[in-house]
Structure 1
């Protein structure tokens, strides 16, 4: 998951540098007044999102598989704890009741 996040940030940083260069060279409009930095950030986000979606597809699937494994493991651990509690509860009830 960390790898995917770092790769996504890298794509965003590359787009940010490219957009910054294009805005200051005059290829893209400069924005309105003091909004230039916000304009550059917005353009970089809009451009990097579809690039990340296409380029990082395999990495996103790997991260998804890791998350599913962790969730399944947590569910199994929770179920094991529940069954241990049920056995302990049944044992306590059986010992507490006179025969």
Structure 2
């Protein structure tokens, strides 16, 4: 997951540099008044999102598989704990009835 996040940040940083270059060279609009910095960041976000979606598809799939495995493992552990509690509770009740 960290790898995917870092790759995504890298794509955003690259987009930010390209957009900044385009805005300051006059090839892209500068924004309104003092909003130039915010404009560059927002434009870089808009440009980097579809690039990340296409380029990082395999990495995103790997990360989601790892998350699913973790969730399944946690569910199995929780179920094992519940079964252990049920067994202990049944044993305590049985012992209480025989006394």
Listed as ranges, the matches of 1:42-81 within 5 Å are 42-81=42-81
Matched with 2:98 is 98
Following the alignment from structure 2 to structure 1, what is the Cα–Cα distance between the partners of residues 31 and 56? Answer: 30
In structure 2, list runs of 5 or more residues that go unmatched.
Answer: none
TM-score by length of structure 2 reads 0.98
Q: Which 5+ residue runs of structure 1 have no aligned equivalent?
A: none
Task: Give the ranges of 4+ consecutive aligned residues of structure 1 lying more than 2 Å apart after TM superposition.
Answer: none
In the comparison of the two structures, how many residue pairs are matched?
A: 99
Give the CA deviation at 1:87. 0.1
Shift of 1:43: 0.4
TM-score by length of 1: 0.98
Cα deviation, 1:21-68, whole Å, max 9, x if unaligned, reads 100000001000000001000100000000000000000000000000
